[in-house]
Structure 1
Amino acid sequence: MSIDSASDTSAVAATASRPAQRVDSVPLRHPLLAVVGLVLVALNLRPALSSLAPVMGDVVRDTGMSSGQAGLLTTSPVLCLGLFGVIAPRLAQRFGAERVILIVLLMLGAGVALRGIGTFPALFAGATLAGAGIGIIGVLLPPLVKRDFPKKVSLMMGVYTMALCAGAAAAAGLTAPLERALGGQWTGALAFWSLPALLAALAWLIQLRGRHSGVGQAHAPVRGLWTNPLAWQITLFMGLQSALAYIVLGWMAPMLRDRGLDPVMAGAVVSASVMTQVLAALVSPMLATRTPSQSLAGAATLGCSLVGMIGCLYAPVGTIWLWAVILGIGQGGAFAVALTLIVLRSSDSRVAAQLSGMTQSVGYTLASAGPFAVGILHGWSGDWHASAALFAVVAVAAGVFGILAGRPRQIHG
């Protein structure tokens, strides 16, 4: 394996879009249908994670679970993202990426629906099943983008990340109103988010019919990937910025409720922050790829995340919307840049698939410690000051690895 430095923007763009091997040249019969399928799948990769926090207080009250169990519900799906993401490339090689995504979408929908039972064991099982599904699909989609849209990588990664953030925002903002509309039944509000997963599975099935999956062909492993410094820099950037994202998804609403906001307003603020990520996620990859280096983009997005989070926790409540928007710009941009780096730093879809598996499996396993640590710190201190300090430390570390990963180099198999 070698790491080559790029000298200008065109070199980066060319290597990012070059169909280097036969496996990258699978023709799309219906490109628009492929885009629709990608968007619908991406919309379902965060509602299972962001829908719980707005009704967490009611869930704890009705189930009688402890704060440790509540922390486990926010941590287990993120941990499963990492643990199950590592097997995604092997599943794709054996069965084909598209077929695996279809089956796992159904599994994801079943996990979300399971939460409607309303007991802690069902909530935990549903969170685990959903997290496993999200982890597998999340690893498989970036290589498909590189294979199917080699000349529009930055645009399509932006569209993918935008849809992912939109799904998170919708679930964060609509779950509490759904609960009220259902007469206070949080079980139905949580189970509702299985319906979009079934719709996405139907759309993906239509796309899958008659399609040959080149990603499903056998590939030799990328030698030296797990000892490559650049691969680890991308992995740590992905993992640390994801830890911040899951802290916000899992705990921001309870933090704001402790600041005096009612449940619906707290959910609305989180939803507004996540909705801001939609625009940031679309724009960031295109801005970041205008130059050979993405280091500035990595550092700037983490800086916005830190400033926005501190503002949400400590600035006057009347300014909460401003800080929520800044937080959303930072987090949406950071996640989009992290995913784009996987594609930009890979010489072909084979490298992209295995780098995606490494960065997301290890990264999300690391990220799962974030919401769990916040739950422990809050239970220990009774306030959110220690959690704010943890957020700051993780944000600075993520910024450092973003600068390193953003340097114009590439990984070759």
Structure 2
Amino acid sequence: MGDVAERTTPTRRTRPGPVLLAVAVILVAFNLRPAITSVGPVLDQVRAAFAATAGWVGLLTTVPVLCLAAAGAVAPRLSRRVGLRGAIVVALAAITAGLVLRVLGGPTLMIAATVVATSGVAVAGVLVPVVVRAGFPTRVGLITGLYTAALQAGATVGFALTPLLAAALGGWRAALAGWAVLGAVALAGWLACGRPAIPAAGPARDDDRPSLLRSPLAWTVTAFFGLQAFVAFAVMNWLPLALMDRGVSRTDAGLLLGLLSIVALPVSLLVPPLAGRARGQSGWILALSACGAAGLLGFLVVPTAGPVQALPWVLLVGLGMSVFSLALTVIALRASSAERTADLSGMAQGIGYVIAGTGPFLIGLLHDTTGGWTVPFAVLLAVVVAQAVTGTLAGRPRAL
């Protein structure tokens, strides 16, 4: 494929414009959640069509978390082998192909194709921060904010539009396959960038730098990422049920969950650019963590009998969950190079999503054991406190 820069300047090769690369990053980000969030609204229809067991449903919903965790080890190695651009092309192709394949057969093919699609999601999720660090070294906060906002918008759109697509297109298969169009658009956008002057995500020799596994800072960043993801996964899975148990209708609980996601969008757009220009990010992390803690504390101590009473606490929890954008910003800023960003992103997301995957299980177990939500919310509050501590440490101006 010819280089875009070669066509615009016949005498020399130039880098793709920063605007084009930023648009490509946003398109990639928008594709990193619909593959996951689009299934939930039609899961009952999928299960009925396949006459699937509860075990199959559990496996289908667990596969994305497992893939997100495994990508931490796979993505940097893939990038070293085929280059950063090539690795993201492979990831986008996997997302697009997996989304189509998962509706073409039965339950076994759907599981296998979900592995393909969410593996692409996971690999791209690890490597996009490397693109941000290498392609926009002086605008890490701004581009991370745009990337995070696009990712969260994709998650919300995937959840909200899938039922409408199913009704308009004649069923869940067409609705789920329709999200492959976004993958194809993102792939075209990424290919349009030509060969951006971004290094492969890895050094020429593995012994050039000490292992991040021996770095206290790397473990601090990883703990911060994992703890905030633990809270997010648990809240997204269990907050609607907790609200319904307290008198909120199913419809209102769904609306509040959507609001929780939407409130993070402006924060993701505004805070990372400001935090990225600051010497450290600890203050921002602490402030957003305090919002999340206040929301969980409100659920613990204030009676909630309807959506109006729950609204302030949902908004605060949503603000707290927007610390995800700062977790990605910290990954890019604490690394001294694009190669180091790939290593740190792989470690933080790989191990972090293992931590996060235990969140829904643990909170559900505590709810079943205690028969209420006091202990689960108290545990989440304790995790947010730990998140604030590790995030404050990770936000200090140091570099690996």
| 2:356 equivalent in structure 1 | 367
Which of 177, 184, 195 is the equivalent residue of 1:191?
A: 177
Which of 131, 143, 151 is the equivalent residue of 2:118?
A: 131
1:61-91 Cα distance to aligned partner (Å, 9 max, x none): 5555555554443332112111123121121
Q: 1:266 to 1:190 in 2, by over 3 A?
A: farther
1:271-327 Cα distance to aligned partner (Å, 9 max, x none): 322122121111221333454332232232223234445657963322244433322
AA of the residue aligned to 2:319: I
| 1:168 equivalent in structure 2 | 155
| 2:144 equivalent in structure 1 | 157
Distance 2:365 2:172 in 1: 25
| 1:351 equivalent in structure 2 | 340
Q: Alpha-carbon deviation of 1:223?
A: 0.7
Question: How many residues matched?
Answer: 382
| The 10-residue stretch of structure 1 (48-57 or 149-158) with the greater mean CA deviation from structure 2 | 48-57
Distance 2:294 2:284 in 1: 16
Q: 1:100 to 1:290 in 2, by over 3 A?
A: closer
Query: Contact 1:94–1:218 (CA<8 Å) still a contact in 2?
Result: no
Distance 2:379 2:237 in 1: 15
Q: Alpha-carbon deviation of 1:134?
A: 1.6
Distance 1:326 1:129 in 2: 36
Secondary structure in structure 2 of the residue aligned to 1:402: helix
| 2:10 equivalent in structure 1 | none
Q: 1:127 to 1:250 in 2, by over 3 A?
A: farther
Q: 1:187 to 1:317 in 2, by over 3 A?
A: farther
Which of 205, 218, 226 is the equivalent residue of 1:220?
A: 205
Q: Alpha-carbon deviation of 1:149?
A: 0.9
Q: 1:290 to 1:39 in 2, by over 3 A?
A: closer
Secondary structure in structure 1 of the residue aligned to 2:344: helix
AA of the residue aligned to 2:164: P
Q: Alpha-carbon deviation of 1:35?
A: 1.0
| The 10-residue stretch of structure 1 (97-106 or 370-379) with the greater mean CA deviation from structure 2 | 370-379
Distance 1:306 1:121 in 2: 41
| 1:202 equivalent in structure 2 | 188
Distance 1:239 1:206 in 2: 34
Q: 1:405 to 1:369 in 2, by over 3 A?
A: same
| 1:230 equivalent in structure 2 | 217
Query: Contact 1:71–1:371 (CA<8 Å) still a contact in 2?
Result: no
| 2:377 equivalent in structure 1 | 388
| 2:80 equivalent in structure 1 | 93
Q: Alpha-carbon deviation of 1:398?
A: 1.6
Distance 2:218 2:69 in 1: 16
Q: Alpha-carbon deviation of 1:172?
A: 2.3
**1:323 maps onto 2:313 in alignment:** yes
Q: 1:72 to 1:300 in 2, by over 3 A?
A: farther
Distance 1:388 1:217 in 2: 41
Superposition pairs of residues 183-332 of structure 1, within 5 angstroms: 185-207=171-193, 209-211=194-196, 213-215=198-200, 218-221=203-206, 222-253=209-240, 255-256=242-243, 260-262=248-250, 265-289=252-276, 291-308=278-295, 315-319=304-308, 320-332=310-322
AA of the residue aligned to 1:198: A
**1:78 maps onto 2:78 in alignment:** no
Which of 27, 30, 36 is the equivalent residue of 1:40?
A: 27
Structure 2 gaps of 5+ residues are 1-12
AA of the residue aligned to 2:391: G
| 1:336 equivalent in structure 2 | 325
| The 10-residue stretch of structure 1 (218-227 or 147-156) with the greater mean CA deviation from structure 2 | 218-227
Q: 1:274 to 1:252 in 2, by over 3 A?
A: same
Structure 1 gaps of 5+ residues are 1-25
| The 10-residue stretch of structure 1 (311-320 or 386-395) with the greater mean CA deviation from structure 2 | 311-320
Query: Contact 1:42–1:160 (CA<8 Å) still a contact in 2?
Result: yes
Distance 1:178 1:90 in 2: 37
Query: Contact 1:97–1:215 (CA<8 Å) still a contact in 2?
Result: yes
| The 10-residue stretch of structure 1 (392-401 or 371-380) with the greater mean CA deviation from structure 2 | 371-380
Distance 1:373 1:114 in 2: 33
| The 10-residue stretch of structure 1 (35-44 or 131-140) with the greater mean CA deviation from structure 2 | 131-140
Superposition pairs of residues 21-32 of structure 1, within 5 angstroms: 28-32=15-19
Distance 1:394 1:57 in 2: 32
Bigger relative contact order (CA 8 A; separation at least 6):
1
Q: 1:369 to 1:216 in 2, by over 3 A?
A: closer
AA of the residue aligned to 2:315: V
1:368-390 Cα distance to aligned partner (Å, 9 max, x none): 22233345555666665554344
RMSD: 2.9
Q: Alpha-carbon deviation of 1:160?
A: 1.1
AA of the residue aligned to 1:338: A
Identity %: 37
